[in-house]
Chain A
């Protein structure tokens, strides 16, 4: 049994993509533990396998071999509907391109998730947490990129997920806007204690993490514990 403070545990995780005649090995045996409440930055170049790992942790993809546990739940053997349930109740996602629903306002983009969640917070509260309490009734087209990403973060945390998985959350943003977004993530992690995994190829972001995990060529090359975390406001790139 994994320890109670361990949220994710992977052992010998491999993933092979069948691309017609060639096989691409995205993960080559990953052993990793993620603990409750920590903010982890997964650092790696594009193609290093970090997104694959995040997708498997988030129940979007399944491993070719090895095992992955979310608390005491074995995700390796989960069916499609079990994975849907898992995503629905336990995981919050933030994507590089926000993936907001253009036909719904900021508030409604959050409501669409809280309406199917078990113990969600009010959409207004979630938006206040990311500093967008005054943009409730704006449609995505009326919001800047950074604002859209913060709506996406509010949407991800509004269901009170156990983990928040962020895939290049600042990838489509300039650095000033990016920092506002990272600040929001840091605040969520601090105030709600949500285990947060941020993947990025931007090494500058690593300083805000509790732990930094470097990824290369499908496996972990380095795990570094930050002695002191830097506030996102002090980051620059």
Chain B
């Protein structure tokens, strides 16, 4: 049996269903983004943790030149080390007949029995390696899918300068390569880069590493100190060409995962705050209006003996029904979007499985936050209803007080028609409400700006990185540092128009008590194919001496131009030198350092060694050039710029579309919620006034102007403010997302602003049309018979 008061509640709701639904949707948007972000984050974390556990992902990683296997025992004896696995890792190039471009990859050893103890493989298809066969290989799933490889297929490879045919026996995944990206690349490219696993004995033979290893991974005992283990390991491996050990947080795949997770965390806070803030404001406006419309009913209820709290609770219940509806829609929407996100992640994260998990706690917290926001927003209105003395409530509210606006007092009065004055005075009478409406519209606009920001930033990064900085068509890397002559050989290949050598050296940079493991890239002083840029994108000339640091690396070390930093070379001579910082360069990806190629070689005392070359290539000779490069055993890898960018955009296109769609939907919800509710309230507050004007002979168009003009003005003021807020949110995100791996530049295109404004304007127009229809139903006679 429903109580009479609750029946009233249901009928009140039915009478304002459009507004209630619009607010529910705004709440739903907040709840949905919250649930989507947190559930995706939980799912990724959960999947990651169980994958890491089940497949024994290592905690310490180190590469070295070469050490005898007996050293493994000494590593094992380092206090805190639980388990050690030594490995041989080498570069590989592949010749895939159906794919003209050269393909490179990394070959990782697994014990001959097939079962790695750490970083174990998750076999998707086929089988593990046969210890008695030396020509078998397991390949990673992304690479297999990109080329439609099946177990049993042959793969032609060049290993350490020798050509070989291998048989693919299995397709697998590894916790080491969840985010599988070629070191130095901006994005994953499964077509041109693959991970291969091979038996240890075969690898030792191929890479001349009999009884030795060049890579080790470790797990730690509980409570072991990572820095201590790293230090002891580095000391132990120093004389074996150790390149410096590091923990998970510097492991490429894990580092990317962490930055993705922190992005989700940002989303989980930023967006719900905006949506629920707007919802609280809308509820306040709607409930305030309802209370003032129902003054007499409240008075009557009290006269019948209902208590203040019963009346207050009655209106609070109304709010809660709206919140509840929003919460339910939000849960459904959030779970749906979360599953969609999880699917998108599976496209570029290589998990063997993805447990989508929506924690009941998240759902409950979302509910509590929504209720808290709504209660806070309507507290004032509900209290007002509860405290209204019955006798006073029986009388109509005193007429609204108006005055001339400051615009008019400034002398603009003559320019304003009476309807225009009505609009301005209405806004000035309730400045807080007007400001919050403008703010609400602004946030809708801002969300759209943020939504397109990602795309703008990526476009900008690609155009700067590949248009202005890396101007080569192709980067060729050699297996080992080679004599300068190798460049001339490359330059003599058909189709190569121009080439420049470069040298890459792994180093550890120290300044004060900060240090960072990175690489120094030596390039030609007046390089045309690899330009260093400052923050204004002006070219920086490479000085003949001194080192240039990526700005983010400079900040990390606390080093400014003029400071002298310590460079510890992590290979070959393992020289330790002091070099002056010549300048900081602006770069979005990585934290590299740069030097003049000759200065670098002087520093290393290695003569004219080069690691590879940047090439400018005539497109017409591409095919022959690819074939030649595939045939050159010294070539460890080739990156073809144009195809890399194309692949990237292909995989991103879907993501960008999905995000743009979701964002538009969410922002549209806010814009519509704010504008439609403002319009409905205005119509309710001023219906009498507008009906009077209609009676006096105003047309529907003329009275619409008064009502919709106000909305138009709010929208026009909200849009530029939204641009500003949007830009601010992008700046916040850009700052929050910066990491060692990449910095997302703060770039927002004109088209982004235009799109945002368009969506907001369309929402306004739709709200306007709905109100226009309501205006047709104004009760001209009734409104004259009653006092407000």
Contact = CB atoms under 8 A, between A and B. Distances in A.
User: Quick one: which of B401, B781, B784 has the most chain A CB within 10 A?
Assistant: B784
B702 A116 contact: yes
Interface in A44-103: 51, 55, 58, 60-61, 81, 84-89, 91, 93, 95-97, 99-103
B694 to A, nearest CB: 7
A108 B408 CA distance: 13
A97 B398 CA distance: 14
Nearest to B399: A141
B699 A81 contact: yes
B697 A103 contact: no
Contacts of A88: 696-698
Contacts of B788: 97
B422 A101 contact: yes
Given A85-B697, A113-B696, A99 B399 contact: no
Given A96-B785, A97-B784, A102-B689, A116 B402 contact: no
A101 B420 CA distance: 13
Contacts of B573: none
Nearest to B400: A102
A112 interface: yes
Interface string B370-410: 00000000000000000000000000001111111000000
A61 B780 CA distance: 9
B426 interface: yes
B783 to A, nearest CB: 8
Contact of A141 (B398, B421, B422): B398
Contact of B400 (A112, A141, A167): A141
B695 A60 contact: yes
B697 A116 contact: yes
B418 interface: yes
Contacts of B417: 115
Contacts of B750: none
Given A102-B399, A139-B403, A167 B421 contact: no
Given A61-B781, A104-B422, A141-B398, A113 B403 contact: no
A101 B784 contact: no
Say which size band chain A's interface belongs to.
35 or more
Nearest to B776: A80
A91 B400 CA distance: 28
A140 interface: yes
Nearest to B403: A139
B402 A60 contact: no
A132 B718 CA distance: 41
A51 B781 CA distance: 9
B407 to A, nearest CB: 14
Interface in B746-784: 780-781, 783-784
A178 to B, nearest CB: 16
A109 to B, nearest CB: 8
B120 interface: no
A156 B144 CA distance: 85
Nearest to A112: B418
Contact of B697 (A84, A102, A141): A84
Interface of B: 398-404, 417-419, 421-422, 425-426, 429, 688-689, 692-700, 702, 780-781, 783-788
Q: Which 4 A-B pairs have the closest CB atoms?
A: A88-B697, A99-B692, A112-B418, A87-B697
Interface of A: 51, 55, 58, 60-61, 81, 84-89, 91, 93, 95-97, 99-105, 108, 111-113, 115-117, 139-141, 155, 167, 172
19 contacts: A60-B780, A60-B781, A61-B780, A88-B696, A89-B697, A93-B784, A99-B784, A100-B692, A101-B422, A102-B399, A102-B402, A103-B421, A103-B429, A104-B418, A104-B421, A113-B697, A115-B417, A116-B697, A116-B698
